[in-house]
């Protein structure tokens, strides 16, 4: 096996020789990484109260300028309901708009979170959250067959782009948005339809034999099966997930939405499903040495694909968040896997010179796509500070990596002229996709990460690392 190399601290170290490279990743919980994948050129600041508050102020400024000021109220569709999605670099609408369940749920969630977590903005953003409730419950919910549509045309009709099918990834975000909106507004419609969405999925999509959920269903709730005997994989519309199979992506976001719903609805069945999803993700989707399989048969047999570094670091956060909400402390197995996911992504998917996580690669080889996608960068920022909060007494790896990650985002991912966040940045730091909004890109990943990072930095300033 060829020994690949990565430049860490300006020193060339082997990263694919198992005796010296993977040992620290495979046993990440017991033996954290001892090298920091950051160059020596950045002026790293010590982990103290002044540093935390300095970064918190920068994060808050970025949130206000590059999330709030550009998305709201610009994104509200006051004619057809819901939220607009398509904006070019200059924040001008482009193309044919449509209403995608994922974006509608996410923008509703963001509006609700701002109303709850920014008291000075509550009166402005409560109407935006209610605007999202109106669309999700009044239009996106299928009044005849139940369940949330995958998406609709702007005029509220069924669209060939989305078909009349039901995709659990989209239904998950509809529930996510409604649960947060109920928490913010106490509008009973929000909780009612979040519960209806959960029960519809439970009736039609839960796999009682193998655990987890069937993902693509017909309008009436019949799971669509694959045809492996043909040797050909068909794909669901828009998401391009393999039909008839289970995915990492859908199941980590089901965990996320069910966790959000459990905050406002302490239902026993819902709790059992959160525990089921957490175990599936930790013990079947995630594998040593800290990577996740992407696609599975219904019996949870993985089939080959790439490693998505962004989903790895996102899942680390989502698993720990779910256990926080369940309120029973952290399972050591969850802590171990969450840390391994972050360590593995740093080891194989990290740009050691500019900072930033790459898009994807093989499990233990070099990154195959070195583009840097906005959501990966912000999920990485969130996960690195989370790891520093938990393990900062043991190592400075995560806080130094956090500082380089933040430096990268400020220099390369943010648009200093028109503001907002570039979708995609090349290996040289130059933007290669400059649009600011589309059906997959709203204010969710970057907004949530900046929320969390700001709050965590301020908590660290008061309490220090654990």
For 207-223, write each residue's pLDDT tens digit. 999 999 999 999 999 99
- Distance CA(27)–CA(429), nearest Å, equals 33
Q: Quick check: pTM over 0.85?
A: yes
Average pLDDT score over residue span 406-435 = 97
Average pLDDT score over residue span 245-260 = 98
Q: How confident is the model at residue 19 (pLDDT cuts 50, 70, 90)?
A: very low
Instruction: Pull the structure tokens for residue 136.
Output: 């999700």
According to DSSP, the β-strands at 367-369 and 360-361 are antiparallel
- Distance CA(109)–CA(131), nearest Å, equals 11
Examine the pLDDT at 458 and tell me if it is beyond 80: yes
pLDDT at residue number 39: 57
Examine the pLDDT at 360 and tell me if it is beyond 50: yes
- Distance CA(154)–CA(176), nearest Å, equals 22
User: Could you report the per-residue pLDDT of 298-352, keeping only the tens digit for each?
Assistant: 999 998 889 999 999 999 999 999 999 999 999 999 999 999 999 999 999 999 9
Q: How confident is the model at residue 29 (pLDDT cuts 50, 70, 90)?
A: very low
pLDDT at residue number 37: 56
- Distance CA(175)–CA(193), nearest Å, equals 8
- Distance CA(148)–CA(167), nearest Å, equals 8
Compute φ and ψ for 12, nearest 5 degrees. -80, 115
Average pLDDT score over residue span 361-370 = 91
Q: How confident is the model at residue 28 (pLDDT cuts 50, 70, 90)?
A: very low
Average pLDDT score over residue span 181-189 = 98
Contacts of 463 (CB under 8 A, 6+ apart): none
Q: How confident is the model at residue 30 (pLDDT cuts 50, 70, 90)?
A: very low
- Distance CA(380)–CA(386), nearest Å, equals 10
Q: Which residues of 45-67 are buried (b: 16+ CB within 10 A; e: fewer)?
A: eebeeebbeebbeebbebbeebb
Whether 189 contacts 132, CB under 8 Å: no
Q: Is residue 429 helix, strand or coil? A: coil
Examine the pLDDT at 15 and tell me if it is beyond 80: no
Examine the pLDDT at 26 and tell me if it is beyond 50: no
Whether 381 contacts 399, CB under 8 Å: no
Question: Roughly how many angstroms between the first and final C-alpha of the chain, as a whole number?
Answer: 40
Examine the pLDDT at 17 and tell me if it is beyond 60: no
Average pLDDT score over residue span 167-179 = 98
Q: Is residue 130 helix, strand or coil? A: helix
- Distance CA(243)–CA(235), nearest Å, equals 5
pLDDT at residue number 343: 97
Q: How confident is the model at residue 22 (pLDDT cuts 50, 70, 90)?
A: very low
Examine the pLDDT at 428 and tell me if it is beyond 70: yes
Per the model's pLDDT, the better-predicted residue between 14 and 127 turns out to be 127
pLDDT at residue number 389: 98
The CATH fold of domain 72-286: Glycosyltransferase (1.50.10)
Task: List the domain boundaries for the chain.
Answer: 72-286
pLDDT at residue number 293: 96
% of the chain beyond a pLDDT of 90: 87
Q: How confident is the model at residue 34 (pLDDT cuts 50, 70, 90)?
A: very low
């Amino acid at each position: 096996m060829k020994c690949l190399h990565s430049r860490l601290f300006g020193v060339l170290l082997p990263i694919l020789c198992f005796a010296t490279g993977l040992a620290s990743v495979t046993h990440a919980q017991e033996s954290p990484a001892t090298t920091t994948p950051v160059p020596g050129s950045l002026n790293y600041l010590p982990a103290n109260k002044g540093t935390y508050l300095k970064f918190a102020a920068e994060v808050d400024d970025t949130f206000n300028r590059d999330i709030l000021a550009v998305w709201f109220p610009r994104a509200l569709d006051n004619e057809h309901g819901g939220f607009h999605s398509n904006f070019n670099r200059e924040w001008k609408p482009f193309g044919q708009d449509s209403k995608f369940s994922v974006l509608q749920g996410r923008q509703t969630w963001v509006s609700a979170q701002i109303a709850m977590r920014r008291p000075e903005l509550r009166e402005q953003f409560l109407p935006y959250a209610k605007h999202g409730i109106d669309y999700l419950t009044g239009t996106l919910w299928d009044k005849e067959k139940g369940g949330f549509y995958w998406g609709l045309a702007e005029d509220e009709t069924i669209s060939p782009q989305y078909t009349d099918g039901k995709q659990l990834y989209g239904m998950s975000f509809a529930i996510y948005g409604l649960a947060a909106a109920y928490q913010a507004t106490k509008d009973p419609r929000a909780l009612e339809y979040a519960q209806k969405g959960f029960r519809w999925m439970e009736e039609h999509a839960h796999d009682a034999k193998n655990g987890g959920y069937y993902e693509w269903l017909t309008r009436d709730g019949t799971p669509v099966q694959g045809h492996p005997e043909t040797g050909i994989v068909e794909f669901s519309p828009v998401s391009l997930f393999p039909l008839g199979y289970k995915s990492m992506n859908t199941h980590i976001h089901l965990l996320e939405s069910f966790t959000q719903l459990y905050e406002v609805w302490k239902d026993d069945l819902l709790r059992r499903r959160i525990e089921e999803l957490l175990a599936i993700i930790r013990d079947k989707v995630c594998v040593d040495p800290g990577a996740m399989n992407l696609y599975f048969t219904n019996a949870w047999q993985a089939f080959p694909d790439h490693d998505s570094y962004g989903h790895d670091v996102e899942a680390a956060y989502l698993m720990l968040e779910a256990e926080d909400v369940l309120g029973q402390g952290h399972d050591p197995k969850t802590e171990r896997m969450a840390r391994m996911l972050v360590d593995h992504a740093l080891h194989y998917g990290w740009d050691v010179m500019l900072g930033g996580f790459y898009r994807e690669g093989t499990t233990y080889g070099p990154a195959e796509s070195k583009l840097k996608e906005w959501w990966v960068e912000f999920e990485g920022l969130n996960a690195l500070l989370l790891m520093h909060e938990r393990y900062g007494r043991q190592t400075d790896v995560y806080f130094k990596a956090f500082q380089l990650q933040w430096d990268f985002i400020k220099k390369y991912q943010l648009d200093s002229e028109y503001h907002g966040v570039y979708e995609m940045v090349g290996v040289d730091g130059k933007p290669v996709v400059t649009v600011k909004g589309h059906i997959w890109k709203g204010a969710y990943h970057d907004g949530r990460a900046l929320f969390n990072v700001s709050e965590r930095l301020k908590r660290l300033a008061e309490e220090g690392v654990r």
